[in-house]
C-alpha cells in the first residue's frame, strides 16, 4: 500500500467543497434575514412631507442599509460558528490538518461574503420594486447616476465590509475556543467599552469611523480594510493552530 | 516496517497522566487490538496516533512523522468512533460522495453494498440515526476508505450482536483483499480475538502487554487448590492474579513458564492447571485490586 | 466451518489439526495443495497471520512443504507423521495421568503394571 503525500491546495479545495455542500442552511438563513431586513426597510429610513397650495408632497428615503447590516451580522455569526467545536470536528472527519481547515474556512467566508454582498445590493432593487408596486402616485428620485466603475467599487467595498465582519467573528470565535471563559468576558468587555467610550465622546468609535469609513481614496481604504481582515485571520490561525481536536 | 512507533510517550492533563511513558510499535499490515478497561488510556493513545491530540512527552511517529497537525498522516489515516459529526444538512449519500472525493483508495462498490446490506436510506440524515446505526454507518466509511492506517475506536457501540458479527466479518474479508494496518479498540476481546494478530493491553496509562494473540493464549495458566499448599508451591512463580475462592481455596493465575519439575510437583498435588483465554487474562491483569471487587466488601 | 474459540487450544493449533484431519480422511491428498492462509482465514473467520502460523507448524513437522510462489503441499509422509504424532501425544498423556493418579493413591508401580496387563486382557477378551 502506498502512502499518498497530499498537495495542500488539493485538500483545501476538497475541504472548501465539503463545507460548501454541507453548510447550505447558512444561505437559507441569509434569505430569511434579508427578507426581514427588507420588511424593516419598507417604511423608509427617513421621510418628510410638506404641502403647499393644496398639493401635498411627501418624501421618503429608502435604503438597503438594513439589509447590508443584517448581512454583516450574518457573516459575523457564521464565522463564529465555524470556529466552534462541532464544526471543527466535522472538518476532521475527513483528511485535513489545522492549516488546511482554516484556509478552507477563509475561502468559505470569502465566498459567503461575496454572495451576501451581491444579494444585499440586489435587494435594493427589490425594495424599489416593492415600494413602486405598493403605492400610487410615486416618483422615484434616484441617486445621481453612477459611473459603472463606481458600481464595481461599491460592490467590492460591500464585499470587503461583509468579509471584514466575518474576520472579526472568526477572531472572536477563535479566542473563545482558546478558553470558554471568553464567551462571557468578551461581551462584558464590549459593553463596558461602549459605556466607557460613550462617556468619553466615543473617541475610539469616531476614530474607527474616520479611519475606515471616511477614507477618501478607494485604494487606501481597500488596503486598510483588507489588511485588517488578513491580520484578524492570521491571529485566528495562530490561536486555532495549536488547538487539539477535542472529541 | 513500523507504521506506528511510540517511545516513552506521555500525555497528561495537569497532574493527571492519561498515558505514562508508553513504548511500543505497530508493524505494517497487522490488525492490532487495543484492549483495556474504561479510562485505561485507549482513546487517548489512538487520538495521539491520529494526530488529533498532542503528546506531552516522548516521541511518537506515524508513517515516520509526528502525527500532530500532519497532513500526510491525515491523508493516510482514518479514525472511526461513535462521536463522528457531519454537517447537519448532509444526507448519508452525500457523506459517502464526500468521503469518496477525499480518499484516493475509496472503494465505492464496497460502500454501496454495505450501505444496502445494512438497509440505510440515501436521504437519511446522520443525526437522525440510532446509536447502533450511526456506528454501523461510520464503520462503512472506515472500511471503504481503505486507508493505510485505519483506526476503529470502540466501533461497535450500540450495535446489536448480529451487526457486530457482520462488521467483524466484513473487516476481516476486506483486510484479506486489501491488507492495511488496523487498530481496533474494544473492551470485548473475546468478540474480536479471532480477527487479531496482536494485542496491546493498556492499563492505567501504561502498556501491560504487547503480544501476538497466540502468545497471549499461552501466556498464563490458572491453578486452583488448597490455600496453604498452593501458596507454598507458587512462591517462586510469577503470579499475575490471585483470588481467595472461599473456604481455604485459592485461585492463582501464573505465567506459563513453569519448569517441568514444578509442573510435576503440581500435578502430584492433584492440581490440574487450566488454560486462561486472552480475554480472561486481560481481565485478570487489569484488576484494580488483587482480589477484585470482593476486596471492597472484606472486613479490615 | 467454526472453530471452538473457547477451546483451550490456540487457534493456530486448531487450524493445524483441522488440516491434519483433512489429510487423514483423504480430502487433501499427497502432493496436493492445501488451503492458503487467506483461504483458511476466510473459511474459519480468523486472522490470516494466525492461519499462516498453523500452516508453518505443519511445515516444520514435515507434513506440508512449500513450493515457491505456489503454496503449501502435502508431503508423501504426511499421513504417517500425523499418526505417529497423535500416538505419542495423546497416548503418552493418558499414561502420564494414570501414573500420577496411581502415585496419589499410593499404588505402586508394580501394582499399576498389573492393572494395565489386566486391562489389556479384558479388552482383548472383549474383542475375541
pLDDT tens, residue by residue, C28-87: 998 999 999 999 999 999 999 999 999 999 999 999 999 888 889 999 988 999 988 888
Asked if B217 is an interface residue toward chain C (Cβ–Cβ < 8 A), one would say yes
- H or E stretch at B187: none
Cβ-Cβ contacts under 8 Å between A and B: the total is 93
Give every CB contact of residue B297 below 8 A, 6+ residues apart in sequence. Answer: none
Q: pLDDT tens for chain A, 247 residues: list them.
A: 457 788 899 999 999 999 999 998 999 999 999 888 888 777 666 666 666 666 666 666 666 678 888 999 999 999 999 998 889 889 999 999 999 999 999 999 999 999 999 998 888 778 777 777 776 666 666 655 667 777 788 888 889 989 999 999 999 999 998 888 888 888 888 888 777 766 665 666 666 767 777 777 788 888 888 888 899 999 999 888 877 775 4
Give the C-alpha separation, B162 to B159, whole Å: 8
Q: Where are the domains of chain C?
A: 11-76, 80-127
Give phi and psi for A27, each to the nearest 5. -75, -30
Give the C-alpha separation, B12 to B19, whole Å: 7
B169 neighbourhood in chain C, CB within 8 Å:
45
A234: left (phi over 0), alpha (psi -120 to 50) or beta: alpha
Interface of B with C in 228-247 (CB under 8 A): none
Asked if B12 is an interface residue toward chain A (Cβ–Cβ < 8 A), one would say no
Mean pLDDT is highest, among A55-64, B103-112, B262-271, for: B103-112
Running DSSP on this structure, what letter comes out for residue B219?
A: S
- Written as nine digits, the cell of B162 is 448480529
List of domains in chain B: 2-216 (3.40.50.300), 221-297 (3.30.70)
Please state the domain count of chain A: 1
CB–CB of B267 and C53 under 8 A?
A: no
C53 neighbourhood in chain B, CB within 8 Å:
214
What is residue A1's predicted lDDT score, i.e. its pLDDT? 46
Strands (E), chain A: 46-52, 55-61
Q: Give the count of alpha carbons within 13 A of B212, CB side only.
A: 16
Architecture of domain C11-76: Orthogonal Bundle (1.10)
Give every CB contact of residue C10 below 8 A, 6+ residues apart in sequence. Answer: B214, B217, B218
Alpha helices of chain B — where are they, by DSSP H?
A: 42-50, 71-75, 92-102, 108-117, 131-144, 161-177, 189-192, 213-217, 227-234, 260-268, 278-285
% of chain B residues with pLDDT over 70: 97
Q: How far is CA A84 from the centre of its chain?
A: 18
Please determine, for the modelled complex, whether the ipTM score is greater than 0.90: no
Q: Is A27 exposed, middle or buried (0-12, 13-18, 19+ CB in 10 A)?
A: middle
Q: How many CB atoms sit inside 10 A of residue C13's CB?
A: 17
Q: How far is A28 from chain B (nearest CA, A)?
A: 12
Asked if B270 is an interface residue toward chain C (Cβ–Cβ < 8 A), one would say yes
Mutation pick from B42, B87, B92, B146 vs chain A, by most beta carbons of A within 10 Å, is: B87
C49 neighbourhood in chain B, CB within 8 Å:
30, 197, 212
> Which domain, by its residues, includes A32?
8-45+57-178+215-241
Asked if C43 is an interface residue toward chain B (Cβ–Cβ < 8 A), one would say no
Q: For residue A2, is it within any domain?
A: no
What is residue A247's predicted lDDT score, i.e. its pLDDT? 47
- Other chains touching A, judged by 3 or more CB pairs under 8 Å: B
**Interchain touch A–C (≥3 Cβ pairs closer than 8 Å):** no
Amino acid at each position: 500500500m502506498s502512502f499518498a503525500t497530499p498537495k495542500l491546495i488539493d485538500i483545501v479545495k476538497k475541504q472548501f467543497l465539503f463545507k460548501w455542500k454541507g453548510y447550505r442552511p447558512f444561505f437559507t438563513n441569509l434569505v430569511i434575514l434579508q427578507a426581514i431586513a427588507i420588511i424593516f426597510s419598507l417604511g423608509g429610513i427617513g421621510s418628510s412631507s410638506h404641502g403647499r397650495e393644496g398639493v401635498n408632497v411627501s418624501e421618503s428615503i429608502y435604503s438597503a442599509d438594513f439589509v447590508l447590516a443584517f448581512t454583516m451580522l450574518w457573516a459575523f455569526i457564521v464565522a463564529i460558528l465555524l470556529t466552534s467545536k462541532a464544526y471543527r470536528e466535522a472538518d476532521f472527519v475527513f483528511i485535513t490538518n489545522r492549516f488546511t481547515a482554516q484556509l478552507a474556512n477563509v475561502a468559505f467566508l470569502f465566498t459567503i461574503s461575496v454572495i451576501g454582498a451581491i444579494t444585499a445590493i440586489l435587494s435594493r432593487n427589490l425594495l424599489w420594486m416593492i415600494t413602486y408596486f405598493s403605492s400610487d402616485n410615486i416618483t422615484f428620485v434616484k441617486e445621481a447616476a453612477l459611473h459603472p466603475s463606481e458600481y464595481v467599487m461599491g460592490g467590492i467595498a460591500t464585499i470587503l465590509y461583509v468579509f471584514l465582519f466575518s474576520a472579526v467573528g472568526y477572531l472572536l470565535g477563535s479566542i473563545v475556543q482558546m478558553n470558554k471563559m471568553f464567551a462571557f468576558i468578551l461581551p462584558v468587555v464590549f459593553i463596558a467599552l461602549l459605556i466607557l467610550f460613550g462617556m468619553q465622546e466615543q473617541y475610539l468609535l469616531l476614530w474607527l469611523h474616520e479611519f475606515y469609513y471616511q477614507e477618501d481614496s478607494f485604494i487606501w481604504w481597500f488596503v486598510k480594510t483588507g489588511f485588517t481582515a488578513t491580520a484578524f485571520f492570521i491571529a485566528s490561525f495562530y490561536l486555532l493552530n495549536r488547538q487539539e481536536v477535542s472529541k | 516496517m513500523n507504521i506506528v512507533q511510540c517511545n516513552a510517550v506521555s500525555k497528561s492533563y495537569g497532574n493527571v497522566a492519561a498515558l505514562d511513558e508508553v513504548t511500543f510499535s505497530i508493524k505494517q499490515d497487522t490488525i492490532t487490538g487495543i484492549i483495556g478497561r474504561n479510562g485505561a488510556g485507549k482513546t487517548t493513545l489512538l487520538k495521539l496516533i491520529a494526530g488529533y491530540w498532542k503528546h506531552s512527552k516522548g516521541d511518537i511517529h506515524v508513517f515516520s512523522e509526528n502525527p500532530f497537525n500532519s497532513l500526510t498522516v491525515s491523508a493516510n489515516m482514518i479514525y472511526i468512533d461513535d462521536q463522528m459529526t457531519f454537517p447537519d444538512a448532509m444526507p448519508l449519500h452525500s457523506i459517502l460522495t464526500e468521503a469518496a472525493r477525499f480518499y484516493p483508495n475509496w472503494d465505492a462498490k464496497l460502500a454501496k453494498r454495505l450501505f444496502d446490506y445494512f438497509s440505510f436510506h440515501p436521504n437519511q440524515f446522520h443525526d437522525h440515526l440510532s446509536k447502533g446505526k450511526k456506528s454501523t454507518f461510520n464503520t462503512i466509511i472506515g472500511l471503504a476508505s481503505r486507508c493505510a492506517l485505519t483506526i476503529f475506536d470502540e466501533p461497535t457501540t450500540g450495535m446489536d450482536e448480529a451487526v457486530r458479527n457482520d462488521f467483524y466479518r466484513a473487516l476481516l474479508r476486506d483486510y484479506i483483499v486489501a491488507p492495511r494496518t488496523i487498530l481496533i479498540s474494544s473492551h470485548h476481546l473475546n468478540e474480536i480475538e479471532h480477527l487479531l494478530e496482536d494485542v496491546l493491553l493498556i492499563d492505567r496509562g501504561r502498556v501491560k502487554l504487547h503480544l501476538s494473540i497466540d502468545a497471549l493464549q499461552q501466556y498464563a495458566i490458572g491453578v486452583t487448590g488448597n490455600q496453604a499448599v498452593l501458596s507454598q508451591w507458587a512462591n517462586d512463580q510469577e503470579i499475575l492474579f490471585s483470588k481467595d475462592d472461599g473456604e481455604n481455596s485459592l485461585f492463582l493465575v501464573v505465567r506459563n513458564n513453569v519448569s517441568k519439575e514444578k509442573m510435576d510437583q503440581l500435578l502430584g498435588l492433584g492440581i490440574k492447571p487450566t488454560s486462561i483465554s486472552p480475554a480472561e487474562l486481560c481481565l485478570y491483569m487489569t484488576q484494580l485490586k488483587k482480589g477484585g471487587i470482593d476486596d471492597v466488601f472484606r472486613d479490615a | 466451518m467454526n472453530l471452538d474459540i473457547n477451546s483451550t487450544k490456540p487457534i493456530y493449533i486448531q487450524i493445524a489439526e483441522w488440516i491434519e484431519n483433512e489429510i487423514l480422511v483423504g480430502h487433501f491428498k499427497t502432493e496436493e495443495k492445501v488451503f492458503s492462509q487467506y483461504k483458511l482465514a476466510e473459511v474459519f473467520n480468523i486472522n490470516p497471520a494466525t492461519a499462516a502460523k498453523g500452516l508453518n507448524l505443519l511445515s516444520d513437522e514435515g507434513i506440508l512443504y512449500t513450493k515457491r510462489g505456489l503454496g503449501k503441499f502435502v508431503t508423501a509422509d504426511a499421513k504417517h507423521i500425523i499418526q505417529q504424532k497423535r500416538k505419542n501425544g495423546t497416548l503418552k498423556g493418558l499414561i502420564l495421568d494414570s501414573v500420577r493418579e496411581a502415585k496419589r493413591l499410593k499404588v505402586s508401580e508394580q501394582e499399576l503394571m498389573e492393572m494395565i496387563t489386566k486391562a489389556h486382557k479384558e479388552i482383548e477378551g472383549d474383542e475375541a
